[in-house]
Structure 1
Amino acid sequence: MKRPAFFLCLFALGAAPADARDALGMFGAWGAFRDAGIPRCYAIAMPEKTTKAEVDAYADVGLWPKKGVRGQVHFRLSRRMQPGAGAQLSLGGQHYRLTGGGIDAWAADARMEAAIVAAMRSGEIMTVSSRDGAGRLFADQYTLPGAATAIDAAALGCAGR
């Protein structure tokens, strides 16, 4: 399901006071934002396709300059994972076993994050899948055109902070 860019902006802004986040730009299905008070910057997108979502899913790549964190890959899944099921990311012919639980999944370590971000820069589609509480397979699919530019905009938004 395609979601208009303004919906993504409203989604990203909805979780905090309106003045807490600065929109840095929209790039295809991806947006870049800065939370100046934290400081934190991130590129974010909602899935192009999902199966019977229970919550609004999204993928983001975050930067926390004061913590020395760059390129943290995170997925909010469309359904709660079955305990112990884990989540998998398929991207550019590679498969990554993500860590996490509940409705959140992350890259297992900094090396995996770097590999995922590099693959996102040249990829077209990425799919995160898992099993829900009833054992049913579900998947969230993201389009990647614009992701590299949004990640770069987020990095520039937090440069020197």
Structure 2
Amino acid sequence: MRKLALLLALGALATPAIAKDSLGVYSDWAAFRDGDVANCYAIAKATNRELGVAYATVASWPKRGIRNQVHIRLSREAPSSGRVRVRVGRTGFNLIAQGRNAWAEDRQMNAAIVAALRSANSMQVRVRGFTDRYNLAGVATAMDAAVIGCSQAS
């Protein structure tokens, strides 16, 4: 029952597109394939419920040559002068933010974040005034399922 509720909640978070195919729920993460735009993604909701809805995705768009791109939807809007810092395990990165969205500065940083996700237990996204927290149980399997799901759809 918990997994079904998580699956439904995570599916609802995948805005603006609605996922077409579930690729599985892996502990705190789930994977989906959206055939209309030919993308697949792993997604998790932040664990801190007192803030607004926040989630993290790791997405692939095979037709665009994009694999495992990290995107963070913040629980609140980042101040224009505010710094967004993600800490994955013991490794930290400064992200580029616009409104409630944050991304890695470049492909190298993105790859480093994905590598850190595979070996850490938790992730915190800090912005002046608030922190969004994530459990990383299942993230590696969900990312792999998303990549495989899109490779099978191509």
- Tell me, yes or no, whether TM beats 0.5: yes
Structure 1: unaligned runs, 5 residues or longer? 132-136
Shift of 1:10: 2.2
Paired residue for 1:130?
127
Paired residue for 1:11?
9
1:104 has 2:96 as partner: no
Paired residue for 1:42?
41
8 Å CA contact 2:10, 2:44 repeated in 1: no
35, 59, 62: which one pairs with 1:62? 59
Shift of 1:16: 6.3
68, 75, 80: which one pairs with 2:77? 80
8 Å CA contact 1:57, 1:77 repeated in 2: yes
Once residues 93 and 17 of structure 1 are traced to their aligned partners in structure 2, the CA distance between those partners, rounded to angstroms, is: 33
Shift of 1:23: 0.4
Structure 2: unaligned runs, 5 residues or longer? none
Once residues 16 and 90 of structure 1 are traced to their aligned partners in structure 2, the CA distance between those partners, rounded to angstroms, is: 27
Alignment: residue pair count: 150
Once residues 23 and 94 of structure 2 are traced to their aligned partners in structure 1, the CA distance between those partners, rounded to angstroms, is: 31
SS at the partner of 2:151?
A: coil
- Matched to 1:88, the amino acid is R
Shift of 1:101: 1.4
Paired residue for 2:144?
152
Once residues 124 and 12 of structure 1 are traced to their aligned partners in structure 2, the CA distance between those partners, rounded to angstroms, is: 20
Once residues 104 and 141 of structure 1 are traced to their aligned partners in structure 2, the CA distance between those partners, rounded to angstroms, is: 15
Once residues 32 and 26 of structure 2 are traced to their aligned partners in structure 1, the CA distance between those partners, rounded to angstroms, is: 12
SS at the partner of 1:98?
A: strand
CA RMSD after TM alignment: 1.7
- Cα pair distance change 1:91/1:16, threshold 3 Å: closer
TM-score, with normalisation over the residues of structure 1? 0.86
SS at the partner of 1:111?
A: helix
